[in-house]
Amino acid sequence: MRVAVAAPLAELFDYLPPVSPAPVALTPGLRLLVPFGRGRRVGMLLRITSRTEQDPARLKCVESVLDARPLLSPADLRLIEWAAAYYRQPIGEALFTALPARLRDPAPLLDERVPGIQATPAGLSVTLDTLNRAPRQRDLLALARAAPAGLALADLRLSLGDCAATLRALRAKGLIETCQLIPGLTPSLPPPVSALAGPALNADQQAAVNAIQGALGGFRAFLLDGVTGSGKTEVYIRLIEAVIAAGGQALVVVPEIGLTPQLRERFVQRLPGPVAVLHSALNARERERGWHRAALGEATLVLGTRSAIFTPLPRLALILVDEEHDASLKQQDGFRYSARDLAVRRAQLTGCPVVLGSATPALETLHNARLDRYAWLKLPQRAGRARPPTISLLDIRDQPLQAGLSSVLRADMRAELAAGNQVLLFLNRRGYAPILTCHACGWVGGCPHCDARLTLHLNPRKLWCHHCGWSQPVPSLCPACQGSDLRRLGQGTERLEDNLRPLFPEVSIARIDRDSTRRKGELDRLLGAVQRGEIQILLGTQMLAKGHDFPGVTLVGILDLDQTLYASDFRAPERTAQLIVQVAGRAGRAERPGRVVLQTRHPEHPLLQSLLREGYGGFAAVALGERRDAELPPFAHLALVRAEAPGESEPLAFLRAARVLAEGLIAAAEAPKIQLLGPIPAPMERRAGRYRAQLLVQCGERPRLQRFLAHWSPILRGLSRTRGLRWSLDVDPQEML
Ligand code: ADP
Ligand code: ZN
Ligand code: ZN
């Protein structure tokens, strides 16, 4: 038997069947407890084979079988094995990342069925009056008949007291039978009032629904390219309704559920049947329960963050990825996979449609749509009567700023507030001030572990490193010269909030960023207050850009994006454009039109110009042209090897050795189309006390790159490493950090 062990090991291991016969047929997808080294490990059975490359005399037996039935179906295993091979990740790591965390331990899957009873067909058809001489039996049968999905014994005892004898009598007559029930599962009985609750679809929405619905039952990839507020979610809901009505299951993957409680509510309220919500804010037990329901086919809809892409779904009929451009769909450590790209692969393996939805599609996705690999569905207009926001640039060179706001923006804000509207201010920098410096000697508070400055926070009062989490007390005197003139430079959201209060003393202001929403439930509370109109000025970081609906907001001020315009990552322009359009999309969703004012010192910047003149589509066309010229994705494919170590020269030395090996392979395979760039120090070379470097591999053809990586990564694993050096391979990297 071939077994993948729950450890970051690329190989599979061979074992003999357990000595005592297993209680279940040995099937791939079962977890096993196997002897491993001097201990034992949990593993997963992948293949049954009678051949082995190991010495048969040294093969050990499986100790025990841990599950009563396979946790993963052959289709689930195919997807995960494919992902492990594509992303060059150890199969054991990939498999056990895909499963609920507790299952890395030899514990059994939580199976929380409780005993219950159900009326048999005879019990359903018998006339109750025939039981008049046994009133307790009659009453119990009446209760059972009222609950066709079954009645938990515990509930029964609550209403009838001890009724063991009565139950025995009814069972003897064949009127009831025992069954196993799942506690807490919402019964799927109530008729879907949902269809009534939704608005009538407009023509574009209807065309999208028709196209996708027509593709059910086979593989097809769609890009649902719809401006913010165009009713994409409404399209998803109609499609899921159709899937559920036909007895299928749907999978919806979103970037961050915690940030979009509204979306979750809409799905849960509008759709019939049990919904399993899977995200990282749930505790492990809750997540496992939802995962299990989905795997049993009981949850008709799974709504989850990226790891939900691996949820077993026996009747999977449709996959939706919302905000498909969002970088958080890519896992950035451990098993580095893209949930969006795996969604397409999974749909292909399953034979079902996949829909990628966004107002600002990733350039990779747009490229696929342009090549007709994805059917391109457009929702160019806002749904209902809402009108699109207008975006204008505000040149703030030489302008006096108060609280970082130009006088024009302040006047605009006053006018909107006076008219009873809400204002949203976007500043993508949390904390009070990004720099604390000594006016006498120029000392600047820096992180002792990173090449980064410490951000001043006043609540709680600390100097904080946003890269490694280091914090220290705020000095009252300069640590270098003991001078007392320490100055706070720049403005974060904390300071903006402080500075706004005296400027707008009569209105209520709320701040939304990671610091202000740390407490559980706080984000929901703030969003609710905004919805109810209790807050007039809402300010915050990119948390505000994520799918929220702020119908009362008519003015959005984007205070400072100039830094990101010139960031070094080649995806920076794309991310900046997406951020601007997404923030803008929060405004004026109801009947009140929205206006976006973007303060900048670079009004002539080509990115801003193309975005303004032609919207995101125009920007994307220009950006794709630049990517083509520079041979960057989607016109080339990348893999990034990162290395980090305590010593400055070690990561570079490791990567130089890796490069030599790669050059050998390329020369031997006569594969000149593979290019190596680097190694170079990472943009932030030192982070959390470790030096970092990277080596980039670039190739125009994906299969060629894959073949190269398949040869290179095993020998990289064998490369000698200095103490404490860690390295990783990232296929299709999203961030060049
Ligand atoms: P998106 O997901 O594209 O941002 P939503 O589905 O959230 O858009 O729709 C935006 C708003 O428009 C929501 O308040 C929604 O209820 C409303 N809406 C959607 N479709 C329609 C429609 N056909 N008619 C009227 N209102 C609609
Ligand atoms: Zn000083
Ligand atoms: Zn740091």
pLDDT digits (tens, 9 = 90+) for 201-215: 999 999 999 999 999
Quick one: how far is CA 303 from the chain centroid? 10
Minimal-distance CA residue to ligand 1 atom 24 = 384
More confident residue, 66 or 338: 338
Bigger pLDDT: 669 vs 278: 278
Mutate to test the pocket of ligand 1, among 201, 225, 234, 385 (most ligand atoms within 8 A of CB): 234
pLDDT given at position 159:
65
* Range with the largest mean pLDDT of 259-268, 638-647, 713-722: 638-647
CB 232 less than 6 A from any atom of ligand 1: yes
How far apart CA 382 and CA 228 sit, in angstroms, is 7
Nearest CA to ligand 1 atom 5: 231
Residue 90: exposed, middle, or buried by beta-carbon count in 10 A (0-12, 13-18, 19+)?
buried
The 10 Å Cβ neighbour count of residue 457 is 20
SS3 625: helix
Pairing mode, strands 690-699 and 674-687:
antiparallel
Least confident of 242-256, 328-342, 539-553: 539-553
Please state the rounded mean pLDDT for residues 647-664: 94
User: With bands split at pLDDT 50, 70 and 90, how would you rate the model's confidence at 155?
Assistant: low
Region class of 592: left (phi > 0), else alpha (psi between -120 and 50), else beta: beta
Which has the closest alpha carbon to 610: 631, 624, 596? Answer: 624
Beta partners for 537?
Answer: 423, 509
Atom in ligand 1 nearest the alpha carbon of residue 230 = 3
- Choice between 435 and 51, residue whose per-residue pLDDT is larger: 435
Which ligand is nearest the CA of 454, by number? Answer: 3
398-420 residue pLDDT tens: 888 888 899 999 999 999 999 99
422 lines ligand 1 (CB under 6 A): no
**pLDDT-based confidence at residue 184 (cuts at 50, 70, 90):** very low
What is the predicted pLDDT for the residue at 350? 95
Counting from 1 in the atom list of ligand 1, the atom nearest the Cα of 547 is 4
C-alpha–C-alpha distance, residues 498 and 496, integer Å? 5
pLDDT for res 183: 55
Give the pLDDT of residue 242.
94
What token pair was written down for 563? 């830094």
- How far, in Å, from the CA of 328 to the mean position of ligand 3? 22
Percent of residues in the chain assigned helix, strand, coil, to nearest 5:
35, 25, 40
For 150-167, give the secondary structure using H, E and C: CEEHHHHHHHHCCCHHHH
Structural tokens at position 206: 């209807």
Q: What is the pLDDT of residue 272?
A: 76
Q: Tell me, what's the pLDDT at 188?
A: 36
Neighbours of 439 (CB within 10 A): 12
Q: Which atom of ligand 1 is nearest to the CA of 384?
A: 25
311 C-beta closer than 6 A to ligand 1: no
Query: Tokens representing 334?
Result: 């451990």
Buried b (16+ CB within 10 A) or exposed e, 306-318: bbbbbbbbeebbb
Q: Residue 195's pLDDT is what?
A: 45
What's the Cα-to-Cα distance from 178 to each of 116, 149, 168, 172, 536, rounded to whole Å? Answer: 6, 12, 10, 12, 58
**Which strands sit side by side in the sheet containing 553-558, from one edge to the other?**
390-395, 595-600, 553-558, 422-426, 537-540, 509-512
Q: Average of pLDDT values for 435-444?
A: 94
How far away, in angstroms, is 494 Cα from ligand 2 center? 25
Lowest mean pLDDT among 160-169, 231-240, 461-470: 160-169
| Alpha carbon separation from 377 to 133, 207, 265, 317, 435 (Å, rounded) | 67, 8, 26, 19, 46
Ligand positioned closest to the Cα atom of 466: 3
Residue 69: alpha-carbon gap to chain centroid: 29
What's the 451 CA to ligand 3 centre distance in angstroms?
Answer: 7
Mean pLDDT confidence for 445-461: 93
Query: Could you give the C-alpha distances from 546 to 122, 577, 693, in angstroms and in order?
Result: 54, 14, 32
Q: What is the dihedral of CA 14, 17, 22, 27, to 10 degrees?
A: 50
User: What does the pLDDT read at residue 190?
Assistant: 37
Orientation angle between helical segments 261-270 and 522-531, nearest 10 degrees: 80
Give distance in angstroms: CA of 293 to centre of ligand 2.
Answer: 61
According to DSSP, residue 61 is labeled B
Q: Is the CB of 547 under 6 A from ligand 1?
A: no
Examine the pLDDT at 388 and tell me if it is beyond 90: no
pLDDT over 90 (residue 224):
yes
Residue 385 Cα to ligand 1 midpoint, Å, equals 10
Q: Which atom of ligand 1 is nearest to the CA of 205?
A: 23
Q: Beta strands of 66-165 (E only): which ranges? A: 114-119, 151-152
Among the bound ligands, name the one nearest to the CA of residue 447: 3
Question: What's CA 313's distance to the chain center, in Å?
Answer: 18
The residues with which 178 forms a beta bridge, in sequence order, are: 117
Which residue's CA lies nearest to atom 21 of ligand 1?
383
Closest of 383, 339, 335 to residue 359, by C-alpha: 383
Ligand number nearest to the C-alpha of 229: 1
Report, as an integer, the average pLDDT of 119-126: 90
Peptide bond just before 634 cis, omega within 30 deg: yes
Q: Mean pLDDT across the stretch 520-531?
A: 87
Mean pLDDT for the stretch of residues 693-706: 93
**pLDDT value at residue 519:** 84
The pair of structure tokens assigned to 570 is 């080649």
Amino acid identity of residue 515, one-letter, is D
Query: What residue owns the CA closest to ligand 1's atom 6?
Result: 231
Q: What is the pLDDT of residue 54?
A: 81
Does residue 548 carry a pLDDT above 60?
yes
Q: Which ligand 1 atom lies nearest to the CA of residue 228?
A: 4
Poorest-confidence range of 46-55, 325-334, 655-664?
Answer: 46-55
Return the ligand 1 atom nearest residue 227 CA: 3
Supply the pLDDT for residue 593.
77
Q: Where are the beta strands (DSSP E) in 527-587?
A: 537-540, 553-558
H or E stretch covering 406: strand 405-406
Confidence of residue 447 (pLDDT cuts 50, 70, 90): very high
Nearest to 275 by CA among 224, 311, 246: 311
Q: Residue range 699-724: average pLDDT? A: 90
The per-residue pLDDT of the chain, averaged, comes to 88
478 pLDDT tier (thresholds 50, 70, 90)? very high
Q: Is the pLDDT of residue 196 over 60?
A: no
Name the residue with tokens 């709504």.
303
H-run or E-run covering 410 = helix 407-418
Q: Name 223's bridge partners.
A: 356, 376
Separation CA 350–CA 637 (nearest Å): 26
The alpha-helical segments, DSSP class H, found in 585-676 are 606-630, 650-668
Atom in ligand 1 nearest the alpha carbon of residue 235: 6
Pocket test for ligand 1, best of 201, 233, 237, 385 (most atoms within 8 A of CB): 233
Residue 605's pLDDT band, with cuts at 50, 70 and 90, is: confident
Tokens for 207, please give them.
């065309």
Ligand 2 centre from 476 Cα, in Å?
A: 11
Predicted structure pTM score: 0.86
**pLDDT at residue 318 tops 90:** yes
Can you give the pLDDT at residue 182? 65
Q: What CA–CA distance (Å, rounded) separates 322 from 330?
A: 13
Angle between helices 650-668 and 702-718 (to 10 degrees): 130
Residue 505 CA to ligand 1 center (angstroms) comes to 35
In single-letter form, the type of residue at position 561 comes to L
Closest residue to atom 8 of ligand 1, CA basis:
231
Residue 198 Cβ inside 6 Å of ligand 1? The answer reads no
Structure tokens at 396: 């703030």
Atom of ligand 1 nearest to the CA of 237: 6
What confidence score (pLDDT) does residue 349 get? 95
Cβ(463)–Cβ(472) under 8 Å? Answer: yes
Confidence band for 520, pLDDT divided at 50, 70 and 90: confident
> Ligand 1 centroid to 386 CA: how many Å?
9
Q: Considering only CA atoms, which residue is closest to atom 4 of ligand 1?
A: 229
CA angle 80, 85, 91 (to 5 degrees): 60
Give residue 527 CA to ligand 3 midpoint distance, Å: 31
Tell me, what's the pLDDT at 656? 96
Confidence of residue 194 (pLDDT cuts 50, 70, 90): very low
pLDDT of residue 234: 93
Q: Residue 504 pLDDT more than 50?
A: yes
Is the shortest distance between the CB of 234 and ligand 1 below 6 Å?
Answer: yes
Q: What pLDDT shows up at residue 588?
A: 74
What per-residue confidence (pLDDT) applies to 267?
83
Average pLDDT over residues 262-291: 80
Share of the chain above pLDDT 70, in %: 95
* 467 CA distance to ligand 3 middle (Å): 5
Q: Minimum-distance ligand to the CA of 381?
A: 1
Q: How far is CA 675 from CA 231, 569, 667, 693, in A?
A: 43, 19, 12, 17
DSSP secondary structure, 172-207, as one string: HTTSEEEEEE-TTPPPS-S--THHHHSPPP-HHHHH
Sign of the CA dihedral running 487, 568, 712, 85: positive
Q: Which residues pair with 115 in a beta bridge?
A: 180
The yes-or-no verdict on residue 649 having pLDDT over 80 is yes
Whether ligand 1 lies within 6 angstroms of the CB of 322 is answered as no
Average pLDDT over residues 71-90: 94
Nearest CA to ligand 1 atom 9: 231
Say if residues 311 and 250 touch (Cβ distance below 8 Å): no
Distance of CA 20 from the midpoint of ligand 3 (Å): 54
Confidence of residue 259 (pLDDT cuts 50, 70, 90): low
Comparing 512 with 7, the larger pLDDT belongs to 512
The letter for the amino acid at 426 is: F
Mean pLDDT to the nearest integer, 148-159: 72
Q: Which ligand sits nearest to residue 481's alpha carbon?
A: 2
* 167-176, 185-194, 721-730: least confidently modelled range: 185-194
Nearest to 597 by CA among 419, 387, 389, 391: 391
Kindly identify the ligand whose nearest atom is closest to the C-alpha of 452.
3
Q: Once rounded to an integer, what is the mean pLDDT over residues 660-685?
A: 87
Per-residue confidence band for 158, with pLDDT thresholds at 50, 70 and 90: low
| Cα(438) to centroid(ligand 2), Å | 5
List the beta bridge partners of residue 437. Answer: 444, 487
How far apart are the CA of 454 and the centre of ligand 3, in A? 8
